[in-house]
């Protein structure tokens, strides 16, 4: 089966939906979503969107302070021009969401938006919708997407691989993206989708780790596909571990927002003792990497299963107003956060690295864009500042859309059908499930919050063995959603480990016991595909 569109967007989070709505009035758009449009990491984002809303100065805040906070958190690896671009466009991005119908939480006297503060921020500048900002934004944009006549949504579909000119024709001199192969999970059939432009908006790769705040769809698909097609990736060693994921056997990947600490929540040992003052002068409001390492240190030192986040000193009415979803979910699990401290552990949360792009979201391959967590724009450097992720989705979704709208029209290529004439049905699926489990466990143990050269070497050795086994399986049997995701996770795991091995220092989110010092002149980690064939 073949289809053709002006623009193919792979992924349905905030970045992808923002772009689709920006271009759909004049472009025929197809959105490929692995599950339903609402099932993305964007939907799970609790905190909010960092933005200085009143021109250059808002009360005591300013765009310059937002820039400085971002640069400080990024530990010397942020791109200064990109950081300024994003911070400067933050207000316009938020205003666009308001125009779309997003109802951000306002002050009690309705004098303006209620702004909260999170770790690493010097001021209150986080605009939010209670404690479920991502969900509110996604619902609003998804409704508009479904109502737009020029947008086709393919839910429960997963991209298999990109189609490039050099893959279609070995004699092609320029490597251009022509579209993608996409698996329909309803039928098990692979369709060919051709497009003038293809956009990777598939999110991050949190599912490469055993413990993560990410949804099940976060398997690094866009990064792996771009790498196989010939794109560079950068800064993959910088995996942000959110300090506070709810520790409960029935709470799958439930995040306790950083805003809880922003509103006065304290981190405690089981005996009620605070520990953050011993680790950093900023205490609970230190950047995420500092807080996550502190929790990891205390847990390992004392043999703890978790630590505790205490907001019980705030009135019940305050907690219900500011954290209604966290309060309700914890109560379902038997934890009344107005009376009990919340058991928490760190969990893989965000990939600061990704596919290298420019200020318009363009990759190394013509007609291929990457936006959102899939991309490495240079904004986050070695550590993402809280609530800059949804902002980045908005700013780059809009920037890439503007670039596409101004690009000259191109002929849509005739592309080959998917060939499965030489493969058979898989005789057993245990290889996939076992390998998935093994990968996530050794990535957590060997490539987690604290790393060593020996652990990284062991991880790379295991990845090499598993990748060969999975590639043989991929070559001989009909593909499935689980097999595609596993193949991508193994590729992304390799990129993370290779990047970590190449950085001989500890910076931001990458902490190595063997290389604890900072280099004086840091540079991004850039990996280039070896011997790719398009």
Which residue numbers are catalytic? 288
Give bridge partners of residue 182 from the DSSP assignment: 159, 191
Contacts of 217 (CB under 8 A, 6+ apart): 34, 35, 39, 40, 41, 203
Three-state DSSP class for residue 106: strand
Q: Tell me the C-alpha distance between 200 and 517, whole Å.
A: 35
Scored b (16 or more CB within 10 A) or e, 20-43 reads: bbbbbeebbbbbbbbbebebbbbb
Residue 128: φ, ψ to 5° = -155, 165
CA dihedral 350→355→358→361, nearest 10 degrees, is -80
Measured in whole angstroms, how far is the alpha carbon of residue 434 from the centre of its chain?
25
Contacts of 179 (CB under 8 A, 6+ apart): 4, 8, 162, 163, 192, 193, 194, 195, 198, 412, 413, 415
Contacts of 155 (CB under 8 A, 6+ apart): 33, 35, 36, 37
Could you give the C-alpha distances from 191 to 32, 36, 222, 468, 475, in angstroms and in order?
12, 19, 18, 26, 18
- Please count the other Cβ atoms lying within 10 Å of the Cβ belonging to residue 208: 28
Q: Order of strands, edge to edge, in the sheet holding 239-246?
A: 239-246, 342-351, 307-310, 266-268
> Which tokens in the block code for residue 375?
């991309």
Q: Tell me the C-alpha distance between 242 and 225, whole Å.
A: 26
Q: In degrees, to the nearest 5, what angle opens at C-alpha 228 toward C-alphas 12 and 375?
A: 45
Contact 12, 221 (CB under 8 A): no
Measured in whole angstroms, how far is the alpha carbon of residue 118 from the centre of its chain?
18
Among 126, 116, 197, 203, which residue's Cα sits nearest to residue 162?
197
Q: Are strands 233-234 and 526-527 parallel, antiparallel or unpaired?
A: antiparallel
Three-state DSSP class for residue 9: strand
388: number of CA atoms within 13 Å, CB side? 34
- E strand spans, 185-283: 189-200, 233-234, 239-246, 266-268
Task: Indicate the helix (H) or strand (E) that contains 155.
Answer: strand 151-155
Contacts of 513 (CB under 8 A, 6+ apart): 450, 451, 452
């Amino acid at each position: 089966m073949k289809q053709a569109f002006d623009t193919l967007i792979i992924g349905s989070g905030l970045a992808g939906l923002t772009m689709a709505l920006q271009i759909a009035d004049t472009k025929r758009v197809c959105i490929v979503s692995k599950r339903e449009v609402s099932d993305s990491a964007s939907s799970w984002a609790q905190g909010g969107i960092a933005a200085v809303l009143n021109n250059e100065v808002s009360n005591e805040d300013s765009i310059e302070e937002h820039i400085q906070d971002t640069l400080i958190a990024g530990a010397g690896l942020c791109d200064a021009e990109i950081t300024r671009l994003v911070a400067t466009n933050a207000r316009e991005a938020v205003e666009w969401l308001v125009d779309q119908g997003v109802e951000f939480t306002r002050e009690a006297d309705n004098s303006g938006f209620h702004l909260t503060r999170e770790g690493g921020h010097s001021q209150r500048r986080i605009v939010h919708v209670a404690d479920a900002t991502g969900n509110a934004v996604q619902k609003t944009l998804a409704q508009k997407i479904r109502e737009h006549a020029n947008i086709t949504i393919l839910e429960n579909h997963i991209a298999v691989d990109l189609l490039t000119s050099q893959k279609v024709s070995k004699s092609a001199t320029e490597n251009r993206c022509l579209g993608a192969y996409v698996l329909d999970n309803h039928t098990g059939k692979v369709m060919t989708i051709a497009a003038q432009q293809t956009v990777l908006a598939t999110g991050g790769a949190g599912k490469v780790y055993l413990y993560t705040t990410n949804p099940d769809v976060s398997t690094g698909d866009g990064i792996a596909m771009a790498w196989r097609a010939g794109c560079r990736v950068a800064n993959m060693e910088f995996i942000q571990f959110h300090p506070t994921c709810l520790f409960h056997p029935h709470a799958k990947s439930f995040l306790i927002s950083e805003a809880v600490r922003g509103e006065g929540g304290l981190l405690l040992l089981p005996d009620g003792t605070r520990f953050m003052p011993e680790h950093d002068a900023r205490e609970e409001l230190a950047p995420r990497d500092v807080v996550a390492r502190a929790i990891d240190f205390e847990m390992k030192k004392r043999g703890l299963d978790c630590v505790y986040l205490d907001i019980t000193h705030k009135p019940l009415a305050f907690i219900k107003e500011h954290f209604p979803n966290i309060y309700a979910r914890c109560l379902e699990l038997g934890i009344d956060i107005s009376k009990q401290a919340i058991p928490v552990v760190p969990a893989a949360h965000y990939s600061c690295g990704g596919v290298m792009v420019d200020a318009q979201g363009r990759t190394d391959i013509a007609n291929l864009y990457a936006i959102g967590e899939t991309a490495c724009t240079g904004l986050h450097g070695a550590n993402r500042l809280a609530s800059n992720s949804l902002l980045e989705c908005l700013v780059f979704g809009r920037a890439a859309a503007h670039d596409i709208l101004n690009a000259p029209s191109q002929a849509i290529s005739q592309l080959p059908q998917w060939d499965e004439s030489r493969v058979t049905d898989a005789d057993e699926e245990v290889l996939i499930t076992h390998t998935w489990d093994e990968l996530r466990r050794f990535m957590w143990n060997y490539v987690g919050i604290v790393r060593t050269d020996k652990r990284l070497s062991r991880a790379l050795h295991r990845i090499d063995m598993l990748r060969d086994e999975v590639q043989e399986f991929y070559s001989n049997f009909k593909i499935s959603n689980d097999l595609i995701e596993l193949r991508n996770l193994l590729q992304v795991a390799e990129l993370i480990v290779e990047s970590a091995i190449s950085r001989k220092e500890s910076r931001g989110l990458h902490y190595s016991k063997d290389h604890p010092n900072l280099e004086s002149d840091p540079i991004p980690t850039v990996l280039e595909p070896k011997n790719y064939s398009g």
